[in-house]
Structure 1
Amino acid sequence: MSGSEVTHTAFPTRVVRHPEADVPPELRAQALRLQEQAWPSEPGEAGDPSHDPALAPYSLLLVDGAGTVLAALDVLSKEIGHAGEGWRVAGLSRVVTDRTRQRAGHGRTLVAAALAEIRADGADLGIFTCDRPLRGFYTSAGWRELPGSVLVGGTPEAPFPSDQWDKVTMAAFLTPRARAAAPRFTGARIGLYPGDVDRLW
């Protein structure tokens, strides 16, 4: 899927989707600069960090008519077991908006587009964690908070739970089966276990 046209404010933008490994270099470089704005790298850190390929990572970019990346995020996915059943889940990672263009709705546009992509891909649910002050932002883009829920990342042998920080778990239940099971995800510890590269998304 190469992307689709969306309209926002007074100028056209488009949401572009690429597998992480296939993002055009000029767009990838811009997305990395936005990430560096938000999370400055430590000396010696890799300048182009990649996700674990086992999580089928793809990037969504909000691009204006001049080819400028206004916002970027990555989507990761895997199968998990919870409440005695298997689930196809996907989540957001590295959600970032250009600091010089914040409060224009670019981030919300992209996060809502990501939810639509995850639904179209056939996931049972979207789920991820965010800092507590951001829950209103994600709610405005179609996600919902799961009160008391904890995502457990890392591996079963070396768990990495989200409640070691002041995080909240956001979700969207996308299939009838998932919607029926929503109470079993609320106030629960959910074994995400994405591995040692992406310890938590």
Structure 2
Amino acid sequence: MEEPRTTMSIDLMADLAEHERNAVAELRDAVYPPAEEADWSGADVEWSPARWRVGIWSGDGELATHVGLLLRAGTLDGKDVTIAGVGGVKTHPRHRRFGHAQRALRAAGEFLRARGDVDFGLLVCEPPLLGYYSGLGWREFTGRLLVTQYGEPTVFTASPHVMTLPVLGPAPADGVIDLGGPPW
């Protein structure tokens, strides 16, 4: 089911107009109210900002869904890879159950495949979302995820689940992924 009269775009975050940046902030606050954010397990994590975003706008001009994207040179079992980070997936409560996140995530995958330089995608999620992302082609990664936090290398433990998406090659299910920087 799709909400009528929506538009979708893939934009560089740096190119967003002020009203678009404000819309992202308003959506964040609607999905993650600031009063509840302090209790979130990832509140103290250093996160990498998105470089691109897939945005879906409702017919009345409200940002309904946002999916953040970035690229990172990292390693998989010591071999150089290019990893696409997918994060900041959120849909405004008024626009849920219309398939917006699914549509945006599929568009993100198409965008990454069209680039021709991305080995696989990676996201972190909470347990209730495993089935959702699995249904979109993501697979659970059960290996170790290494990240950098405030300048120090560490094993990522802030989110219980890491998922990968095949882009140019298969999506790894195990091994050691080093993001060479903060997670997203």
Cα distance, 1:149–1:16 mapped onto 2, change above 3 Å: same
Cα distance, 1:51–1:127 mapped onto 2, change above 3 Å: closer
Aligned to 1:88: 82
| 1:156-198 Cα shifts (integer Å, max 9, x gaps) | 9612433x245211111222xx32xx5xx3232311122xxxx
Taking every aligned residue pair, what percent have the same amino acid on both sides?
24
Paired with 1:10 and 1:75, the residues of 2 have a C-alpha distance of: 24
Q: Give 1:98-109 correspondences, 5 Å limit.
A: 98-109=92-103
Say which SS state the counterpart of residue 6 (structure 2) adopts.
strand
1:155 shift after superposition: 5.8
1:58 shift after superposition: 1.0
Match of 1:143 among 138, 144, 148: 138
Aligned to 1:186: 173
Paired with 1:140 and 1:30, the residues of 2 have a C-alpha distance of: 28
Q: Which amino acid in structure 1 is aligned with residue 183 of structure 2?
A: L
Q: Which has the higher contact order (CA 8 A, sep 6+)?
A: 2
Are 1:153 and 1:159, in contact at CA under 8 Å, matched by a contact in 2?
yes
Are 1:23 and 1:59, in contact at CA under 8 Å, matched by a contact in 2?
no
Structure 1 unaligned residues grouped into runs of 5+: 1-7, 43-49
Structure 2 unaligned residues grouped into runs of 5+: 36-46
Q: Which amino acid in structure 2 is aligned with residue 119 of structure 1?
A: R
Match of 2:8 among 6, 11, 15: 15
Aligned to 1:130: 125
Q: How many equivalent residue pairs?
A: 173
Paired with 2:147 and 2:26, the residues of 1 have a C-alpha distance of: 27
